């Protein structure tokens, strides 16, 4: 069987992704069969079939189209419809319609309840037997029609699923009763109530399962509901409300107070506070004004905004998050592979055991044919591969969706499982432990030069640069009331910093070598405090020195303490100097030996390699291009949300919240979800290990036989889904209780 892989990884390799909605799957054996059939198709690279969402995600060679995939699924005995890429989230978020399941259940119970009453009365009058036969036929074959239809469809393809077991068990009880009635018309020992009761209990379980799946899907549906369907488009002197699908990049849209921002864009006019909690998980609104970016799906406050659209609906931040969540929910954790392998041979094995049970009781038992028959039927009905198929996807669905709402985006279920095993986290300093926004701490000019003039030189260069230190200089100069002109020809030179023309002078702002004359004390004291020092050169002569400090994120010390309390070792890798590393270690409560300074990208890679060689399961958290190799080399890469596209692309997780506590939440998410998966799989396997032997030994026959077996089987699937829904408590509350 093809192992699931990251959709992003497959896309990089030139594959094409298709999503199919598969109809007719009822248990793990079904999803396993569809996956096997698709994986054997020439040109298919990876396949993942999700029983909970009924979606199959397939990555294929460009030569293979969706029609071939649909045909393959249909030939396997199931229905298939391709889902457009932009509709994938809508398909995953579609809440299952529980109406048909409820109607079938009502019909089955309306027939099964009087049927059971008549059965318990043991009346052998003709009218009673006729009534029982009619009621049993209604419950078994009218209300239970989809079960038998599915079983026959599978049989036509020489395949067996859970529906095969239920259909075979109910039909055996019904047919046995008819035969006994014909052979012993005066005092037949019929089991019509068993046939009707089996189907009724199965339908109760399937209705409850559908309800539970609807609740699990609602988490993703809530994310999908955040998207706007319309936008107020500005054209000329007028405006028009249009579907967001027709809005293009460069259009201007108006966002009124208390409206959702329709699409990603940049504010051109107006100011307001925007609630971005759907993206970041942070409840405090963010002030927005001209030149600030806004994201589709976020909620505008009391001010009106005019926004220039930067991305169409299919490429918005919300759409990318939605696709990532839908992909993660449709992926499979390695833990599920064992369940998939078991599901492949489970139903044939149970049918074999049922036949062996019948023969064994007939040959060795002393209770007669009826007991042997009912015991064999109990074996057929008690077995449940459904719980195996639902164990992983329901937990992943709930965990991934609520993680997204808490500001943690997870690439796939395999990443989630790896993250749960992490025992060491390597943290980049800038942008991860610190805010990545340096402040000017001190500024000194050479004797004989005007300080404000030197500030203006440095700020002119910084204001024309994208470098964080340059931006900090320009911002600080404005706060000091110093005006400055724009620099020309600004460029970055390796090892020299920023260089450009300010008026008639060549100006450089960059790293300092040693202790320049006149600035010895500033450089020495700044380095002792762990600050970054730069010099300002005018025409090759040092005329000023400036020191910067990056603010440590609030709650950094508390977050690291929580990680360590979870048994996770925290290591910091920074490109800054030793003094800055020591200062950081003291500030966040780490031993100096756990802080590695002067780390180039290749040094971070080597550090992670050494930790892995020591047997550690390593996560790397960073936000820059220089962190990308380490993120890719770690067991789990975690990109901080403020990071670059490169960092986000290679990471297994992306944190969209700016607070360091999100790392703690990410680890708790992973551990809580994987713990739930293991509980579900343990219950699913344990249930069958206990229930099937009890049925074989005839224990169930003493307490109602096949009907009790049907009730137990139905409840096993429901219990797995309900256990997964425990993860669905309000996003940040369940993380901290797990």
**Cα-to-chain-centroid distance, residue 127:** 58
Q: Is the pTM of this model over 0.75?
A: no
What's the pLDDT at 647?
A: 45
SS3 400: helix
SS3 698: coil
- Mean pLDDT (the chain) is 80
Q: Running DSSP on this structure, what letter comes out for residue 159?
A: -
At residue 737 the predicted structure's pLDDT band, cuts being 50, 70 and 90, is: very low
Buried b (16+ CB within 10 A) or exposed e, 514-547: eebebbeebbeebbeebbbbbbbbbeeebbbbbb
Return all residues near 669 (Cβ < 8 A) that are at least 6 apart. Answer: 399, 402, 403, 406, 408, 410, 416, 419, 735
Cβ distance 630 to 646 under 8 Å? no
Q: Is the pLDDT of residue 114 over 90?
A: yes
Q: Does domain 407-433+553-668 have CATH number 3.40.50.1000?
A: yes
Q: Is the pLDDT of residue 730 over 60?
A: no
**Cα-to-chain-centroid distance, residue 682:** 22
Q: Where in the chain is the domain with CATH 3.40.50.1000?
A: 407-433+553-668
CA torsion angle 515 516 520 525 (round to 10): -60
∠ CA 733-737-738 to the nearest 5 degrees? 115
Per-residue pLDDT reduced to its tens digit, 509-549: 887 777 788 888 888 888 777 677 888 989 988 889 998 88
Higher-confidence residue of 173 and 96: namely 173
Residue 249's CB: how many other CB atoms inside 10 A?
A: 13
User: What are the distances in angstroms from CA 718 to CA 107, 202, 382, 487?
Assistant: 21, 11, 14, 68
List 251, 340, 428, 550, catalytic entry = 428
Buried b (16+ CB within 10 A) or exposed e, 459-469: bbbbbbbebbb
Q: Where in the chain is the domain with CATH 2.70.150.10?
A: 230-321
Stretch 569-589: mean pLDDT: 80
Per-residue pLDDT reduced to its tens digit, 615-660: 999 998 876 555 667 777 888 888 876 544 444 555 778 887 767 8
**Cα-to-chain-centroid distance, residue 419:** 13
Higher-confidence residue of 151 and 381: namely 151
Closest among 251, 299, 297, 249 to 272, alpha carbons compared? 299
Q: Which two tokens stand for residue 147?
A: 């079960």
What's the pLDDT at 424?
A: 94
Per-residue pLDDT reduced to its tens digit, 203-219: 887 787 677 666 655 55
Higher-confidence residue of 604 and 527: namely 604
**Cα-to-chain-centroid distance, residue 181:** 56
* Strand-pair partners of 493: 497
d(C-alpha 699, C-alpha 690), whole Å: 11
* Strand-pair partners of 545: 444, 535
d(C-alpha 718, C-alpha 715), whole Å: 5
* Strand-pair partners of 232: 241, 254
The fold for domain 437-552 equals: Calcium-transporting ATPase, cytoplasmic domain N (3.40.1110)
Closest among 24, 49, 38, 51 to 151, alpha carbons compared? 24
Q: Which two tokens stand for residue 606?
A: 């080597």
Higher-confidence residue of 554 and 494: namely 554
Q: Where in the chain is the domain with CATH 3.30.70.100?
A: 7-83
* Strand-pair partners of 82: 20
d(C-alpha 585, C-alpha 180), whole Å: 83
Higher-confidence residue of 233 and 729: namely 233
Stretch 667-671: mean pLDDT: 90
What's the pLDDT at 375?
A: 86
Range in 187-191, 474-478, 495-499, 591-595 with the lowest mean pLDDT = 495-499
| Residue 737 buriedness (CB in 10 A; 0-12 / 13-18 / 19+) | exposed
The CATH number that domain 7-83 falls under is 3.30.70.100
What's the pLDDT at 150?
A: 83
Half-sphere CA count of 72, side-chain side, radius 13 A: 23
d(C-alpha 568, C-alpha 93), whole Å: 35
Active site residue 428: yes
- The order of strands in the sheet holding 55-60 is 44-50, 55-60, 16-23, 79-83
Stretch 581-588: mean pLDDT: 80
The CATH number that domain 230-321 falls under is 2.70.150.10
Buried b (16+ CB within 10 A) or exposed e, 669-683: bbbbbbebbbbbbeb
Q: Where in the chain is the domain with CATH 3.40.1110.10?
A: 437-552
d(C-alpha 409, C-alpha 414), whole Å: 13
Closest among 448, 509, 515, 511 to 484, alpha carbons compared? 509
Closest among 399, 330, 396 to 31, alpha carbons compared? 330
> Which of 160-169, 190-199, 499-508, 590-599 shows the highest mean pLDDT?
499-508
What's the pLDDT at 736?
A: 47
d(C-alpha 677, C-alpha 336), whole Å: 9
Q: Is the pLDDT of residue 88 over 70?
A: no
What's the pLDDT at 107?
A: 95
Q: Is the pLDDT of residue 5 over 60?
A: no
Per-residue pLDDT reduced to its tens digit, 693-726: 988 888 877 776 677 777 777 777 778 878 887 8
């Amino acid at each position: 069987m093809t192992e699931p892989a990251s959709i992003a990884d497959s896309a990089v390799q030139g594959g094409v992704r298709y999503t199919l909605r598969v109809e007719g799957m009822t248990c793990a054996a079904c999803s396993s069969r569809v996956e096997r059939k698709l994986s054997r198709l020439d040109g298919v690279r990876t396949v993942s079939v999700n029983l909970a969402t009924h979606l199959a995600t397939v990555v294929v060679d460009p030569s293979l189209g969706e029609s071939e995939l649909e045909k393959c699924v249909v030939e396997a005995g199931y229905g298939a419809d391709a889902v457009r890429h932009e509709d994938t989230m809508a398909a995953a978020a579609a809440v299952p319609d529980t109406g048909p399941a409820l109607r079938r259940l009502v019909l089955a119970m309306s027939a099964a309840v009087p049927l059971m009453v008549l059965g318990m009365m043991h009346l052998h009058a003709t009218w009673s037997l006729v009534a029982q036969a009619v009621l049993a036929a209604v419950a078994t074959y009218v209300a239970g029609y989809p079960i038998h239809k599915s079983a026959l469809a599978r049989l036509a393809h020489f395949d067996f699923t859970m529906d095969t077991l239920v259909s075979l068990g109910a039909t055996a009880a019904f047919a046995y009763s008819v035969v006994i009635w014909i052979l012993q018309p005066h005092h037949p020992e019929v089991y019509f109530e068993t046939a009707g009761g089996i189907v009724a209990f199965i339908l109760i379980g399937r209705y409850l399962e559908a309800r539970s799946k609807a609740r699990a899907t609602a988490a993703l549906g809530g994310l999908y509901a955040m998207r706007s369907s319309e936008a107020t488009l500005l054209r000329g002197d007028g405006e028009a409300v249009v579907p967001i699908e027709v809005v293009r990049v460069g259009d201007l849209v108006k966002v009124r107070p208390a409206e959702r921002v329709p699409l990603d864009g940049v504010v051109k006019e107006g100011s307001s506070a925007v609630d971005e909690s759907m993206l970041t998980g942070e409840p405090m609104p963010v002030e927005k004004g001209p030149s600030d970016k806004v994201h589709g799906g976020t909620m505008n406050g009391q001010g009106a905004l005019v926004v220039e659209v930067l991305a169409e609906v299919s490429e918005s931040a919300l759409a990318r998050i939605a696709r990532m969540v839908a992909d993660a929910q449709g992926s499979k954790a390695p833990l599920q592979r064992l369940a998939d392998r078991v599901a492949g041979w489970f139903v044939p094995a149970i049918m074999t055991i049922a036949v062996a049970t019948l023969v064994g009781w007939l040959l060795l038992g002393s209770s007669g044919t009826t007991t042997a028959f009912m015991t064999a039927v109990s074996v057929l009905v008690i077995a449940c591969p459904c719980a195996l198929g639902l164990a992983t996807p329901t937990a992943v669905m709930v965990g991934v969706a609520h993680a997204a709402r808490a500001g943690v985006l997870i690439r796939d279920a395999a990443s989630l499982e790896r993250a749960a095993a992490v025992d060491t986290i390597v943290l980049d300093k800038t942008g991860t432990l610190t805010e990545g926004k340096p402040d000017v701490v001190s500024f000194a000019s050479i004797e004989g030069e005007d300080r404000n003039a030197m500030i203006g030189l440095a700020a002119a260069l910084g204001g024309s640069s994208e470098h964080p230190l340059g931006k900090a200089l320009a911002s600080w100069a404005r706060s000091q009331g110093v005006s400055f002109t724009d620099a020309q020809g600004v460029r970055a030179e390796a090892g020299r910093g920023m260089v450009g023309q300010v008026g008639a002078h060549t100006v450089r702002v960059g790293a300092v070598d040693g202790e320049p004359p006149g600035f010895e004390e500033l450089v020495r004291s700044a380095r002792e405090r762990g600050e970054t020092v730069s010099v300002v050169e005018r025409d090759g002569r040092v005329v000023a020195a400036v020191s910067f400090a990056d603010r440590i994120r609030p709650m950094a010390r508390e977050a690291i303490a929580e990680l360590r309390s979870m048994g996770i070792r925290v290591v910091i890798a920074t490109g800054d100097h030793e003094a800055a590393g020591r200062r950081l270690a003291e500030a966040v409560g780490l031993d100096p030996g756990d802080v590695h300074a002067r780390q180039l990208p290749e040094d971070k890679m080597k550090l992670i390699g050494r930790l892995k060689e020591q047997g550690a399961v390593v996560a790397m958290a960073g936000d820059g291009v220089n962190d990308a190799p380490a993120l890719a080399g770690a067991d789990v890469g975690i990109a901080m949300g403020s990071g670059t596209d490169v960092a986000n692309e290679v990471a297994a997780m992306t944190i969209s919240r700016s607070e360091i506590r999100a790392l703690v939440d990410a680890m708790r998410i992973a551990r809580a979800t994987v713990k739930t998966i293991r509980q579900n799989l343990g219950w699913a396997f344990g249930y069958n290990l206990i229930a099937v032997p009890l049925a074989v030994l005839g224990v169930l026959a003493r307490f109602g036989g096949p009907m009790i077996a049907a009730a137990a089987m139905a409840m096993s699937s429901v219990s797995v889904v309900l256990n997964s829904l425990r993860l669905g408590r309000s996003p940040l509350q369940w993380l901290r209780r797990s």
